[in-house]
Each structure stands twice: as structure tokens, then as C-alpha cells.
Structure 1
Amino acid sequence: MFIKDIIRRIKIIGHVLTRCDVPNNFAQWFLYAIARGHPFDGWKTRLSRYMREWFPTLSLKGLWGGKWVLTFDPGDITHMVIFEELVINRTWNLDLVPFEPDLIIDVGAHIGIFASLAGVRFRQARVICIEPDQANLIWLRHNLKMNLVTARVIEGAAGDSDGRIFFEPGLSYGGRVVEKEISDRPTLEVANISLRRIILEENPKCLLLKIDIEGAEELVLPTILEVLSPPCFLFLETHGGNDSYQRIANICKAVGFQLTLTRSHGNMRECYAIMPQK
């Protein structure tokens, strides 16, 4: 088992370092590769404690010749998992967007990985981030600032109407909206934000929309589809297995979206959808 673990970690390091396109940032990428297999959380091993003390944060430059940078916690595995998905594996590849958006909305913005990537790639676009988790909001604002992305950050959870709702913090990417009376974990009352209202107020001509809201997409998507107009590009993660994905796919196709499934893992399905200009 020990040898297998070493081999696994060497493979992680090799895979990560082949994606580093900024030579003077190589050391930070190397440290990320180590942390990805052995988080610097400060308590599991002596190595973890030392690395936590020496490297409490990492800043990785990458994509487009180092024009983008992300600062994150190498002790938080969820920060690194999302970085791996979006930057190393390019799960949501901005090269697929066939137009220059005038508005980018990141729903479930987490620590700002997608919002800052898209904001750097499409500098002329307005950016709106919706995120309910207070810990994530600190990192989100920092990463937007580091990339000189001016964004409107809305503290709350996207929903089908405006109001108040209960939010259960989990891992940084696993918080979710819940019914307080059936939750057996601590919850917070947060703002419920009508995504439909935001889109109508902003009235975009070319919208790039990312939605990753831990299962609430089946509630939110039906309320906005009729107010979306071409061209529109959607990155989406669903959380209810094949049945949920098919329901969402059907209602998206009904209004003119062309969907492509990019990854399936567990109950989650990642896809992108294009509503082309008519």
C-alpha cells in the first residue's frame, strides 16, 4: 500500500507539472502537486504541520501566459479539487465559448476560480458572482482583486424568488440550501436571490452563465430559461444522477439549447449548453 501511495503521488505531480505554462511559477505548482496528494492541513503528519507553517497559502499563475492567478489554501482539499477540475483538466473550457460575452454570471462562485478566469479572458464583460458561504466570500473577493476583475458580489443563494432561506455550510464546495426543520446540522439564514430578476435587470446581449449550486439547479433553471436569449452559453453541474440530468437537458433543449455532456462522476453530471444566434 505504501508503494502504491508513492506511485499515486508521483503520478499526480507529473500530471500537474505538465500543465504549468509559467516557468517562474513552477515552484508553486510543484507545492500544489504535493498538497493535492497530501494537504497542508497542519494535523495529519509532521510534514503536514511543517508545510502548513511554511506555506499557509499558494498562488498559482497559469493560462494565457500567466495572465491569471489563483490564491488558495493548500490545506483545504476542496480548493484544490476545484482548481484541478477547472484549470488542470479544463472541465469548463472557456475556449468553447463562441462569442464575447457582455455579462458573466457565476452562480455558486466558490472561491472565485471560474469568475476570475472568465473575467481575465473576457475583460470587457461585466461580472456578477453569487455565493452564500462566508468563508468562500473572503477568498472570492481576494482572487477577483488579484486578477483586477471588477465584479458585483452578491452574498446569498440563487433561488426562484427573493427572500430568506436556510443554508447548510459544508465543505467549501458542498454547502447547500436546506429546509431547517429537516436538517440535522447547523444552518445559517441567508438571502435568497432571484436569478431571473438579476438577468432581467442586467438585460445581457451575450450571456455567459455558470451554475453549480449543489442540487438547487432543478429549482432555479426553469425560472430563467424563458428570459434567456441567444447567443447564450451555459456551464452547468447537476447533482441528481441521470434522471436529474435528463430532466434538465429536456427543458434546456425545449428552449433552443444544444447540450454536451462532458463528465459524469457519482451523481454529478457536468455539461455545457449553447443557445446559438438565430
Structure 2
Amino acid sequence: MNLKHIKLYSLFEIFEFTKFSFGRTLISNTNEVLLNTFRLVEFLSFKGIKIEKKGNSIFFNYLINDKSFSINLKKNSSDIEVFKQILIEEEYEIIIDFFQNNNSSPVTIIDAGANIGLTSMYFMAYFPELCIIALEPSQKNFQRLSHNIKENNLSNVTCVPKGIWGYNSNLSAVKDSEDWAFRLTERSDSRSELCEVLSVSEIIKKFDLKLIDFFKIDIEGAEASVFSEKANLSWLNIVKVIAIEIHADFASKDCIENVLLEFGFLIHYSGELTIGFNSKFVDNDL
């Protein structure tokens, strides 16, 4: 452990890191989420980025496309993995490349499952005139999303405290082990957080959308409802690019990909994402 950053950790975390440092035999007993925090702090330190700790969060400025963004992440949480996927591994880079290679700047994006706003920040760094509709049904995540968007002066991002589903409804949120991983269910449970969800068609109507340049869907299994046989999928005709994280426990990857193929999408993959490029809007070979 870099002793310069020891003040970023609690005594328990320091103990866990010490245990980790003694060898591989103890690695399996060390919390993986805690290790991810440690690895991220070391990565940021290597890049010369100053990190501050407030409560259970770390704060730092991070360059995306040479633009500085204020980032705050909860330590030892799924925030760390989300940050890694979006801003270090750049899973959405293929989509940035698509628009740049086609000499096109996207106008409208739907960020469904916006979490704390990192995907919205990533795209705003490349296309600052972009308008983003960021949907997040979790109350806690929505508060942090709204804070992050305001903190970075991203006035073109509209935060909406709702999720998407196959139809308009109010659903129960079932918490999983990760902060990002709560899923929506039609089962009523008085102990669960109630979340309002909208169909994609309702969102299009609400915001009077004629074209969706990019539609990101990372909604913890709710994609099964969005792409169900009963759902109205005509909205796919006005989507240029779609990226879906398909959760195999709840949705069939083959079924969703077959729907995309039926609507003329060319399928690619990036990390955990299934990405569809609508052939009607593709000028160059992918």
C-alpha cells in the first residue's frame, strides 16, 4: 500500500490491505470490492491525480477527452467498477468512434440506468452540445446523479427519477449485493422502494423525440420487459445506435439480439455491452 494514501482508508480497510499484501493464499479472503478501491487509488496516484476523502467517498478531478470533470465515488462500492468500465476501459469508445467516423455529432441520447452519471459525463466530454435524458429510478442514485450533473455544470443533461419498462407502471425495487444492482419487479413488497417506470414510447412522447442518436440501456434485468413480445418496439426505427448490458439471469441475449437483427441493426460487442448500429444510418463500414 502506498503510505501517502493511508489516510484515505479506515482501520478495517488497512487491515484488509495488509492481509492482501502477505500473499496469494489470503487474497481470496479479502473483499474484492475493497481491493478494487485500492487498485483505483493506486491507478489515480500513478497518474498524479490528487484524491480527497470525505466520509465514505473519494473526490478527484479526472480528464475525459482533455476536459476536467469532478468525480466522487463511494469507497468499497460498485461505483469503482462502474468508473473502471466507463472511464478507464472506455466501453463506449466504439460509439464515439462511430459518430466521429461518420462525421456526425449526436443530438439526443437516452441514458437509461444513468446510475451516478458517468456515462453522461463521458459523452458530454466529446459532444458538449448534446442533449441527454438521464433516467435513474433509485432515489439514492438519483440524488447523486443530480449532484454530479450540477457539480459539472452539465445543463444539457435532464435528470429523470424514473426507470424504463415494457409499459408505464409503479414497481418494487429489490436490492442486490451491489449498489448499482437493484432490480425492478412487479411483485408488491411494502419493504421495498417504489419506482415509477415508463415505456420507451412514453419517453419519446414526453420529450417529443423524432430521433434518438444513442440509447444506452443498463437497467439490471428490466430489459426483459422492454424487449418482451408484448412490448411496442417500433421506437427502434428511430434509434441510430443502441447499447444494452444484457443480464442473463433475467433476459435472453439471443432473443434481444434477434429483435435488433429484425430491425436492421448490425451487432458488435464491447466489454459487457451488446451494441447495435442501425443499418439505415450507417455510412461507413464498421
TM-score range, shorter chain: 0.7 to 0.9
Partner residue of 2:135? 130
* Alpha-carbon distance, 1:211 to partner: 0.3
C-alpha distance in 2, partners of 1:18/1:175?
31
C-alpha distance in 2, partners of 1:62/1:145?
17
SS at structure 1 position matched to 2:219: coil
8 Å contact kept, 2:110–2:212:
no
C-alpha distance in 2, partners of 1:253/1:109?
26
Task: State the TM-score, normalized to the length of structure 1.
Answer: 0.75
C-alpha distance in 2, partners of 1:70/1:186?
32
**What are the superposed Cα offsets for residues 114-167 of structure 1, whole Å, 9 maximum, x if unpaired?**
122223322222211111111101110111112221222221221122232222
Amino acid paired to 2:225: L
Partner residue of 1:3? 23
Partner residue of 1:112? 117
**What are the superposed Cα offsets for residues 179-205 of structure 1, whole Å, 9 maximum, x if unpaired?**
335x6x931222121222212443233
Amino acid paired to 1:59: F
Amino acid paired to 1:217: E
Amino acid paired to 1:65: D
1:62 aligns with 2:63: yes
**What are the superposed Cα offsets for residues 207-244 of structure 1, whole Å, 9 maximum, x if unpaired?**
21100111111211354642233561111100016981
Partner residue of 1:244? 252
Q: Displaced runs of 4+ in structure 1, greater than 4 A?
A: 17-20
Choose which of 247, 260, 274 in structure 2 pairs with 1:271: 274
Percentage of pairs with the same residue = 19
**What are the superposed Cα offsets for residues 79-116 of structure 1, whole Å, 9 maximum, x if unpaired?**
11100111111122242342322111111111111122
* Alpha-carbon distance, 1:13 to partner: 5.8
8 Å contact kept, 2:162–2:198:
yes
Amino acid paired to 2:50: A
C-alpha distance in 2, partners of 1:239/1:121?
28
1:27 aligns with 2:32: no
- CA change 1:85–1:190 in 2 (3 A) is same
Number of equivalent positions: 243
C-alpha distance in 1, partners of 2:182/2:239?
31
8 Å contact kept, 1:110–1:172:
no
1:261 aligns with 2:260: no
Kindly report which structure 2 residues correspond to 1:202-241, keeping only aligned pairs within 5 A, or say none.
Answer: 202-221=208-227, 223=231, 225-229=233-237, 232-240=240-248
Mark the runs of 5 or more structure 1 residues left unpaired by the alignment: 32-50, 264-268
C-alpha distance in 1, partners of 2:182/2:214?
23
C-alpha distance in 1, partners of 2:195/2:41?
42
Partner residue of 1:35? none
Kindly report which structure 2 residues correspond to 1:43-122, keeping only aligned pairs within 5 A, or say none.
Answer: 56-73=57-74, 75-93=75-93, 94-98=95-99, 99-122=104-127
SS at structure 1 position matched to 2:173: strand
Choose which of 145, 159, 163 in structure 2 pairs with 1:157: 163
Partner residue of 1:45? none
C-alpha distance in 2, partners of 1:175/1:242?
13
* Alpha-carbon distance, 1:255 to partner: 0.2
1:12 aligns with 2:39: yes
Task: State the TM-score, normalized to the length of structure 2.
Answer: 0.73
SS at structure 2 position matched to 1:90: coil
Partner residue of 1:46? none
Amino acid paired to 1:233: V
Moved more, 85-94 or 207-216: 85-94
1:147 aligns with 2:156: no
